Amino acid sequence: ISLVDMYIDNSEPSENVGQIHFSLEYDFQNTTLILRILTAKELPAKDMSGTSDPYVRVTLLPDKKHRLETKIKRRTLNPRWNETFYFEGFPIQKLQSRVLHLHVFDYDRFSRDDSIGEVFLPLCQVDLSEKPSFWKAL
């Protein structure tokens, strides 16, 4: 079973922990994948204040060493990041075997950050020439 096959999931999420909105684009001239993390909505409250301090950790699996993160948005269940990330030096053929992993966390100053939810998107399922935009359940 390949890495991509492991993350192709046709099942429905078991509980609603919000959704994340992001878009992808591919710069063919510079062999660069462009990821825009836009917003999330209806995240669960993880803090006693009834809100969360969400941020997104981004990896292109199977590479777990190079992680990127959005800024932390304080006291919100509907964060707006509007942040852009560039994965340079990825020929389109190489991206076909990669899986985009977006993991939303609640920042905790004094303890371990809480996991809110995550999305796995095999890039072989995406037509990057169409600059797709997604709302995905976490």
Handedness of CA 25, 27, 32, 38 (dihedral sign): negative
How confident is the model at residue 72, as a pLDDT?
98
Gap between the Cα atoms of 32 and 136, Å rounded: 23
Q: How far is CA 92 from CA 50, 95, 98, 123, in A?
A: 43, 5, 10, 10
CATH class of 3-9+18-131: mainly beta
Query: Residue ranges of the domains in the chain?
Result: 3-9+18-131
How confident is the model at residue 65, as a pLDDT?
80
pLDDT digits (tens, 9 = 90+) for 59-98: 999 988 889 999 999 999 999 999 999 999 999 999 999 9
How confident is the model at residue 61, as a pLDDT?
95
pLDDT digits (tens, 9 = 90+) for 101-129: 999 999 998 899 999 999 999 999 999 99
Whether the link from the prior residue into 62 is cis, omega within 30° of 0, is: yes
**Is there a contact between 53 and 72 (Cβ–Cβ < 8 Å)?**
yes
pLDDT digits (tens, 9 = 90+) for 32-43: 999 999 999 999
